[in-house]
């Protein structure tokens, strides 16, 4: 019997350490981790599930969904949040 695991389809957000948006253009399919536990020696979280390391890249969300349907993978889609830009000038820092 094969255990079917869920996969998350999402578009990664921009990292806080960099101002560029290069790695935010592709959609990713990543499998959820099963059988997590705490390593008693190091105190770190570990898992024997190797599928949690698999990340597939797709150019569009539709491609990722079609791949999941074709391979009978249960999935859920997380939509990216839109970035809110606040227009303000340099002098607004000193007016309050």
Which residues touch 87 (CB under 8 Å, ≥6 apart)? none
Question: What tokens does 62 get?
Answer: 């539709």
The confidence score (pLDDT) of residue 55 equals 93
In three-state secondary structure terms, 24 is helix
The confidence score (pLDDT) of residue 1 equals 42
pTM beyond 0.95: the answer is no
80: how many CB neighbours lie within 10 A of its CB?
12
The confidence score (pLDDT) of residue 3 equals 55
Is the domain 6-93 a CATH 3.30.160 member? yes
Domain residue ranges in the chain: 6-93
The confidence score (pLDDT) of residue 89 equals 86
The confidence score (pLDDT) of residue 22 equals 76
Give pLDDT < 70 ranges for the chain.
1-4, 96
Rounded to whole angstroms, the Cα distance separating 82 from 70 reads 30
40: how many CB neighbours lie within 10 A of its CB?
6
């Amino acid at each position: 019997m094969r255990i079917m695991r869920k996969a998350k389809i999402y578009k990664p957000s921009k990292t806080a350490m960099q101002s560029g948006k290069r790695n935010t253009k592709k959609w990713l399919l990543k499998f959820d981790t099963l059988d997590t536990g705490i390593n008693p020696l190091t105190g770190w979280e570990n898992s024997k599930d190797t599928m949690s390391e698999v990340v597939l890249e797709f150019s569009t969300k539709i491609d990722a969904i079609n791949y999941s349907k074709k391979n009978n993978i249960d999935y859920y889609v997380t939509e990216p949040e839109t970035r809110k830009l606040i227009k303000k000038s340099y002098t607004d820092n000193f007016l309050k």
